[in-house]
Amino acid sequence: MAHWLYKSEPEAWSWEQQVAAGEGGTCWNGVRNHLAKKHLMAMQVGDLGFFYHSNEGKAVVGIVEVIRPYYPDHTDETGRFGMVDLRAVEALPRPVSLDAIKAEPGLKDMVLVNNSRLSVQPVTQAEWALVRRMAGLT
């Protein structure tokens, strides 16, 4: 299974709103970047990902699951981009801040550290396990 990281500004779409969306989840729309699109297209139902708050908070706060694979984003007038549907799985017992991620040698190659502007990022198996542990999950 692949793992991902989704960035969102809490003012635009927060973890709390994702949780409130419930089991049915919501579409993760608004991606307008080809590399991010590539990642969206690679996602499969059941893939898990981190939900990251950018700007305000700057921390991984929760875990989400892909519940619908890539389909066209109707809010994209050019018709070039698509989206997936996500649902909230669980909140992290302890959010993992960007500072903590940067301070962790095992995470120095995370995309979040090296290409912080990419809004949808792949996360390796090792990074996934390490961030989970830092968050207080087994």
Strand partners, 8: 53
Distance CA 78, CA 106 (A): 40
> Which of 116, 122, 124, 129: binder of DNA (CB under 7 A)?
116
Alpha carbons 111 and 27: distance in angstroms, whole number = 23
Other CB atoms closer than 10 Å to residue 68's CB: what's the count?
15
Given 50, 119, 127, 130, the residue binding DNA (CB under 7 A)? 119
Note the maximum CA span of the chain: 43
Please name which of 95, 89, 93, 92 lies closest in space to residue 22, comparing C-alpha atoms: 89
Please tell me whether residue 102 binds DNA under the rule CB under 7 A.
yes
Decide: is 99 part of the binding site for DNA (CB under 7 A): yes
Q: x/- contact string, 56-95, with DNA (CB under 7 A)?
A: --x-------------------------------------
- Binding flag, residue 32, DNA (CB under 7 A): yes
Question: Which residues would be at the binding site for DNA (CB under 7 A)?
Answer: 7, 9, 32-35, 54-55, 58, 98-99, 102, 115-119
